[in-house]
Structure 1
Amino acid sequence: MLATSERVELLEYAEELAQMVIESDILEQYQICLYKMKTNKETQEKIHRFVNLKELYEEVQRFGKYHPDYKRVMSQIREYKRDMDLDPHVAEFKLAENDLQNLLDEISIQVGGAVSKQIKVPTGNPFFHSDSHGSGCGGGGSCSCSA
Structure 2
Amino acid sequence: MFKTVTHTDILSNSLTLAEMIIKSQQFHQYETAKSTLRRDINAQEMIWDFNKRKDDFEEVQRFGKYHPDYSQVSKEVRELKRKLDLYEPIAQFKKAEKELEELLNEVSLIVAHAVSKSIKVPTGNPFFDAMSCSGGCGSGGGCGCK
Class of the TM-score when normalised by the shorter of the 2 chains: 0.7 to 0.9
> Quick one: distance in 1 between partners of 2:107 and 2:5?
24
Query: What are the Cα deviations for residues 22-44 of structure 1, in whole angstroms up to 9, with x where unaligned?
Result: 11111110011011111101111
Q: Give the equivalent residue in structure 1 for 2:119.
A: 119
Q: Give the equivalent residue in structure 1 for 2:18.
A: 18
Q: Give the AA of the match of 2:67.
A: H
Query: What are the Cα deviations for residues 1-41 of structure 1, in whole angstroms up to 9, with x where unaligned?
Result: xxx85222111111110111111111110011011111101
Q: Give the AA of the match of 1:111.
A: V
Q: Give the equivalent residue in structure 2 for 1:63.
A: 63
Q: Give the equivalent residue in structure 2 for 1:79.
A: 79
TM-score computed with the length of structure 1 as normaliser? 0.87
How does 1:130-145 map onto structure 2 within 5 Å?
Answer: 130-131=130-131, 133-136=132-135, 137=137, 138=139, 139-140=143-144, 142=146
Shift of 1:134: 2.5
Q: Give the AA of the match of 1:117.
A: K
Kept after mapping to 2: 8 A contact 1:27/1:100: yes
Kept after mapping to 2: 8 A contact 1:84/1:90: yes
Kept after mapping to 2: 8 A contact 1:108/1:121: yes
Aligned residues: 138
Query: What are the Cα deviations for residues 77-118 of structure 1, in whole angstroms up to 9, with x where unaligned?
Result: 111111111100110011001000000000000100111111
Q: Give the equivalent residue in structure 2 for 1:92.
A: 92
TM-score computed with the length of structure 2 as normaliser? 0.88
> Quick one: distance in 2 between partners of 1:141 and 1:102?
21
RMSD: 1.6
Shift of 1:140: 3.9
1:25 to 1:65, Cα distance in 2 relative to 1, 3 A = same
Q: Give the equivalent residue in structure 2 for 1:45.
A: 45
Greater CA drift, 122-131 or 7-16: 122-131
Structure 2 residue ranges without an equivalent (≥5): none
> Quick one: distance in 2 between partners of 1:9 and 1:71?
58
Q: Give the equivalent residue in structure 1 for 2:32.
A: 32
